[in-house]
Amino acid sequence: MTQSLPSKVREHRYLVTGAAGFIGSHLCRALAQLDGAEVRAVDNEMFGRWGSTGETGNIQAIDADIRGLDATDWARDLDGIDTVFHLAAQKLNNATSSDDLLATNLVATNRLFEAAVSAGVRRIVFASSLYAHGRTSAPALREDDRAEPPTLYGVTKLAGEGMLRTLQARNGIETVSLRLFFVYGPRQYVGLGYPSVIVRNFERLLGGEQPQINGTGQQRLDYVYIADVVEAFLRAAHGDFTGVCNIGSGTAISVNELTAAMCRVSGADDDAKSAPADWTDGTFRAADTSRASKVLGWTASTALDEGLSEVWDWLRTRD
């Protein structure tokens, strides 16, 4: 997908936090394939594994927790870096406490951003989240909607966007915040973190069980394939746009439709079992992607069945 990216993507030096996680590892692999690119990859393997980034000589692994890195550490690690991709974060269901989440998503994040300014980094691309929006009903979410995140995680993501907006106004560093919707693909949550409904139900199918649907199955979500998301990160890093941008497929898929597609690509019977409704029942969370199309020249191009087939094949053959 990266063949249409501008030539200035090449011969660039990057730092990626959260590099061994699901999205970070895919991003590192893509960066490592660019001509002349150098990648410094920071992770503590809390929610990832270094092996996910692949075997390549132009990725320098820095085994560290960003909460423990001070200004001196960052001055060393950011020396000569052109672009920072900040993906490291904690969700409340993964963090040991709310203090732990705040220490990562606010305190350590702000320390990194300030250090990037001091180091002369040209651009920061921040992995924000649909949870910064807050609304869980139709229509599709727009970047200029009123943001009222109902979770502490969403509050921290919205705060991260605000930090960057302030730094750009004050110091001139270029910043982009990508509000990621429901990203899926191979190598997602390999025994780590909180698995998505796609991983959980595919693993049930692999075990000869029925997939499970909570509630009516009419809750609608925006699933976007990992390769498309990686391309969005690369375009955000090397374009002219600064600000906030939704990254999703632009299509709201019900859990019923998603489960039927998973059964279709796996060859299983479309016979799901019902489970009690959870808080998502009746919700609608999809991205309006018109801004991404306009300012990044980006739209998701991977069809749902195609992406699900890649996940299914990976799950069946993983070690």
Each residue's pLDDT tens digit, 60-99: 999 999 999 999 999 999 999 999 999 999 986 666 689 9
Amino acid identity at 217? G
Helices (H) and strands (E) in the chain, counts: 10, 14
**pLDDT bracket for residue 191 (50, 70, 90):** low
Q: How far is CA 14 from CA 17, 24, 37, 61, 76, in A?
A: 10, 12, 8, 12, 14
Q: Is the dihedral of CA 210, 215, 218, 220 positive or negative?
A: negative
Cis omega (within 30 of 0) for bond into 139: yes
**pLDDT bracket for residue 36 (50, 70, 90):** confident
Amino acid identity at 86? H
Asked if 87 and 15 touch (Cβ cutoff 8 Å), the reply is: no
Q: What is the pLDDT of residues 231-278, one digit of tens each?
A: 999 999 999 999 999 999 999 999 999 999 999 999 999 899 999 999
The whole-number average pLDDT for the span 177-191 is 89
Catalytic residues: 153
How far is the C-alpha of 122 from the C-alpha of 80, rounded, in Å? Answer: 10
User: What length is written for the chain?
Assistant: 319
**pLDDT bracket for residue 195 (50, 70, 90):** low
